[in-house]
Amino acid sequence: MPSGTSAFKCSSTAAALLLLCLGPLSFAGASEDALTLADVSPLPSARVWFPSDEHPAIDYAGRRSDDAMALLMRRIAESKTSLHRDDASGYLTSLLAALKVSQDSQMLVFSKTSLQRQFISPQTPRAIFFSDEVVVAHTRGAPLIEVAAQDPRLGMVYYVVDQNAAGPDTIRRETACLRCHASLASVGVPGNLIRSVGVRANGAAAQQVANFNTDHRSPMAERWGGWFVDGIAGAKHMGNLMLAEKGADDSVFVPVTKPSTLIGYPSPHSAAAALLVFNHQMHLMNLLIRIGWDARIADFQEKTKATTPDVTAALLASDAREIADYMLFVDEAPLTGQVAESAFAKSFSASALRDGQGRSLRDLDLRTRLLRYPCSYLMYSRAFEALPAPARAAIYSRIAEILTGKDRDARYAKLTPVIRGDISAILRSTKPEIGAYLSQ
Ligand code: HEC
């Protein structure tokens, strides 16, 4: 097993807070650490190593990033645009507009689980906004707006916008964020986190009561601890709850009410529809970053004769199995409850690519599952398009095996022939690159 110096150090604070880091991690990929078939597990989640951010094929800290925030910074430097502050929320409104992130995507989290935790509470929750490639986090009164933007090659790149600064120092790239944002919970690459925790009245997380990393596979009952959630009725979830005060049994939850006026936030909303989409998207972004890194490192090692094409193929096939299942929502937890209409749902579907019958991968179901046609719209994202060709090919070929019925495993039974046919038709017309795989 290759070993190397840990490039993503797990600090003890982060480990204590997140319970995610499993001691020093070992990494494959430094040029002396050749990849072999023994390093490839049937599923990448069974691996005990992570790709190194210092590998020359990655060079996370040194390589120029082309994420949306980096592009914005360049436009500001060239005086093509600028950010403006307003009294209510500083640079937030202007930043969201410049990054084309919709205000309708606002979700509110009140657990003290992230960087500027002293400013976060049920009275001043942290607002998170997202698009297919950028996530922006703002807390009223906090000095920094936090941004995570996906570079097609590097993965999530982290920035802060200093609410008290003006001029060239206002935005800066930060690597210290990786203390929490590169761990097992982000599949070992710089990536996204979504936690669900039991929270005390002041917003502090009570780790021992409930403590989950969540994505679309998480049962509803495990989701949204420490988050405000509106627009969902009849579902059992952990949103809008806090732990009863001391003295009571520590597992008793009581309702926590969202402040009736939320000054300094674009809207009062924290729509269930947005949270459900966010739960899906963040983990998939991480998985796509990992296969991109694996493909680039393997390609580098092939060129230096440190590995062989059969190892690369096995590695990418292993990543692709997990990605295809996730992109096709195979293990999605059933959606319970009635989700109300929301401005978010409308703007989410507005930009969709549609087939001749008007169908799209951005059509929300929101009755029993997230998507009407359960195949992820991130297939069209800049990060997906920029994956090395062998990585895209591995994903297409695995998705095609499932959609064409070549793989008849019982776990794919809920993708009925009708659903598989609909998804295939949409893909053929909106994503021609996968067409050839579907016809094989
Ligand atoms: C102490 C651990 C910790 C540190 C350090 C940290 N974060 Fe986070 N961050 C979290 C957690 C946990 C979440 C999940 C949402 C929540 O619980 O608030 C999160 C969520 C986010 C999100 C929303 C997207 C996502 O991953 O869910 C952004 C954007 C973000 N952080 C930016 C940053 C930036 C920028 C920095 C560095 C300046 C940073 N974070 C440092 C813990 C941390």
The reported pLDDT for the residue numbered 33 is 72
- For the cut 70, the answer to whether the pLDDT of residue 285 exceeds it is yes
- For the cut 70, the answer to whether the pLDDT of residue 28 exceeds it is no
Tell me the mean pLDDT in the region 261-268.
90
The reported pLDDT for the residue numbered 251 is 75
Q: With contact defined as beta carbons under 8 Å apart, do 433 and 419 qualify?
A: no
Q: Which of 17, 193, 194 to mutate to test the pocket of ligand 1 (most atoms within 8 A of CB)?
A: 193
d(Cα 153, Cα 55) in Å, to the nearest integer?
A: 13
> What would the pLDDT profile of 200-259 be if each residue is shown by its tens digit?
999 999 878 889 999 999 999 999 999 999 999 999 999 999 998 765 566 789 999 898
CA of 259 to the centre of ligand 1 (A): 23
- For the cut 80, the answer to whether the pLDDT of residue 398 exceeds it is yes
> What would the pLDDT profile of 322-355 be if each residue is shown by its tens digit?
999 999 999 999 999 999 999 999 999 998 999 9
> What would the pLDDT profile of 93-126 be if each residue is shown by its tens digit?
999 999 999 999 999 999 999 999 999 999 999 9
Q: Which of 177, 199, 279 to mutate to test the pocket of ligand 1 (most atoms within 8 A of CB)?
A: 177
The reported pLDDT for the residue numbered 2 is 38
d(Cα 240, Cα 216) in Å, to the nearest integer?
A: 19
Tell me the mean pLDDT in the region 29-35.
59
CA of 114 to the centre of ligand 1 (A): 5
Q: How many CB atoms lie within 10 A of CB 425?
A: 16
Tell me the mean pLDDT in the region 300-316.
94
**Pocket lined around ligand 1, Cβ cut-off 6 Å:** 14, 17, 109, 111, 113-115, 126, 128, 135, 137, 146-148, 158-160, 174, 176-177, 179-181, 192-195, 282
Q: With contact defined as beta carbons under 8 Å apart, do 157 and 151 qualify?
A: yes
Residue nearest to atom 25 of ligand 1 (CA): 192
CA of 283 to the centre of ligand 1 (A): 14
Which stretch of 37-41, 86-90, 136-140 has the lowest confidence by average pLDDT?
Answer: 37-41
- For the cut 60, the answer to whether the pLDDT of residue 10 exceeds it is no
Q: With contact defined as beta carbons under 8 Å apart, do 288 and 384 qualify?
A: yes
Residue nearest to atom 27 of ligand 1 (CA): 193
Q: Which of 69, 92, 115, 279 to mutate to test the pocket of ligand 1 (most atoms within 8 A of CB)?
A: 115
> What would the pLDDT profile of 180-208 be if each residue is shown by its tens digit?
999 989 999 999 999 999 999 999 998 78
Q: With contact defined as beta carbons under 8 Å apart, do 217 and 332 qualify?
A: yes
- With CA atoms as reference, report the closest residue to 348 among 68, 100, 102: 102
The reported pLDDT for the residue numbered 222 is 96
Q: How confident is the model at residue 48 (pLDDT cuts 50, 70, 90)?
A: confident
d(Cα 196, Cα 89) in Å, to the nearest integer?
A: 26
- Higher-confidence residue of 422 and 42: namely 422
Percentage above 70 pLDDT, the chain: 92
The reported pLDDT for the residue numbered 207 is 76
